[in-house]
Amino acid sequence: MKFNWGMGITLFYSLFMMTMIYMVYQSTQVNRNLVAENYYEKDLQYQSHLDRLSNSARLKTDLAIFQNKEGNYLRFVFPKELTSINGDILFYRPSDNSKDFNQAIELDEAHEFRIPTSALLKGAWKIKINWEGDETLFYKEASIQI
């Protein structure tokens, strides 16, 4: 069998087609974790998010987040100027969205909320806090390393 230009073109197109089929197959096997499943609805509500941020910027004292030296709990210190505070904290794991969870805010007498870090895997976390105080909505976001 003699190798001529017709055989070369056929071989080239065959290899090209097999490569394309393999690439399409590989692209269907990739896990595409979205930041949020309902991202379109969240985009429509972005103005309320901006309002929460501006409300947070007007506070006299900002919400403070501390991790103790031993690293066994996180402490959230809420502004004492607000009397009634309720809301939730989203713990967002950028590397794996199946580890994300919400925690309701339960303040003690010192206007603080503590959560043990034993519930958190080691690594990077984003904390997104949505809370309401004195009928005003607030938001704060922070990154921590456990």
Average pLDDT over residues 37-46: 79
**Is the domain of 26 the same as that of 55?**
no
**Is the domain of 10 the same as that of 55?**
no
> For the chain, percent helix, then strand, then coil, each to nearest 5?
35, 30, 35
**Is the domain of 23 the same as that of 85?**
no
**Is the domain of 51 the same as that of 105?**
yes
**Is the domain of 46 the same as that of 88?**
yes
Whose tokens are 């190798």? That residue is: 3
What percent of the chain shows pLDDT beyond 70? 95
Q: pLDDT, tens digit, for every residue of 78-121?
A: 888 888 888 999 998 888 778 888 989 888 888 888 988 887 88
Mean pLDDT of the chain: 87
What percent of the chain shows pLDDT beyond 90? 28
**Is the domain of 55 the same as that of 73?**
yes
In three-state secondary structure terms, 9 is helix
Query: What's the domain range around 56?
Result: 39-145
- 115 DSSP β-pair partners: 74
Residues 71 and 146 sit within 8 Å (Cβ to Cβ): yes
**Is the domain of 56 the same as that of 124?**
yes
**Is the domain of 86 the same as that of 130?**
yes
